Amino acid sequence: MPFPFISKDKRRISTAMKELLNIDEIFMLEALREARRSWDLGEVPVGAVVVKDGMIVARGCNLMITSHDPSAHAEMVVIREAARLTGNYRVYGATLYVTLEPCVMCTGAIILSRVDRVVYGAQDLKTGAHESAFHLLAEPLHNHVPEVTGGVLRKECGDILTNFFKMRRMEKKARKMRERAERESALAAAPEAGGVSEEC
């Protein structure tokens, strides 16, 4: 189903909706849509969009497993796509919306691509490179320092990850229980261990 706040060209946000809703939240909802796409692919659900002049110019989600590429984080995917579609390795004047705080690798891509602004949702306490594990994204020593806004739809962006990992744990537990039941069933059907039937 198409996102209800997107007009017929599927990219431009209507002026009326800009006035009614927080524009960052609107685009973060689009990044969340991408996160759900990565969930469907069996990936950790992180999504991103790149916005320029009020329009989404590229979309992306985690694709590490799908593409056999450890660098295919949602930010890397969407920045590559934005650069390809705009025909420029610099994506000047763009805002990157991503559901999870960028890591160190993605921080490098953000700086190299000259993204103007980064908006993210949930904190990544283990590898986040803005306010969590590291403080690199807005480090003034870089030759480009993007404006950063964190915590937009933080709960929604965090919940999708929490639910995903909860589902993974439940699936793992169910698999172990099934394997155990299969082992016990096989043992019950087998001859007694060590037993040798002697025929005289």
Name the segment binding Zn ion (CB under 5 A); options: 17-25, 70-78, 144-152, 184-192.
70-78
Nearer to Zn ion, 65 or 105 (CB): 105
What are the residues facing 118 on neighbouring strands? 96, 148
CA distances from 87 to 19, 26, 92, 116, 162 (A): 32, 26, 12, 17, 37
Quote the tokens at residue 61.
């989600």
Nearer to Zn ion, 59 or 73 (CB): 73
- How near is the Cβ of 86 to Zn ion at its closest, in Å? 21
Residue 57: strand, helix, or coil: strand
- How near is the Cβ of 103 to Zn ion at its closest, in Å? 3
DSSP state of 6: B
- How near is the Cβ of 71 to Zn ion at its closest, in Å? 8
Nearer to Zn ion, 70 or 191 (CB): 70
Determine, following the binding rule CB under 5 A, whether residue 57 of this chain makes contact with Zn ion: no
60: amino acid identity, one letter: G
Determine, following the binding rule CB under 5 A, whether residue 110 of this chain makes contact with Zn ion: no
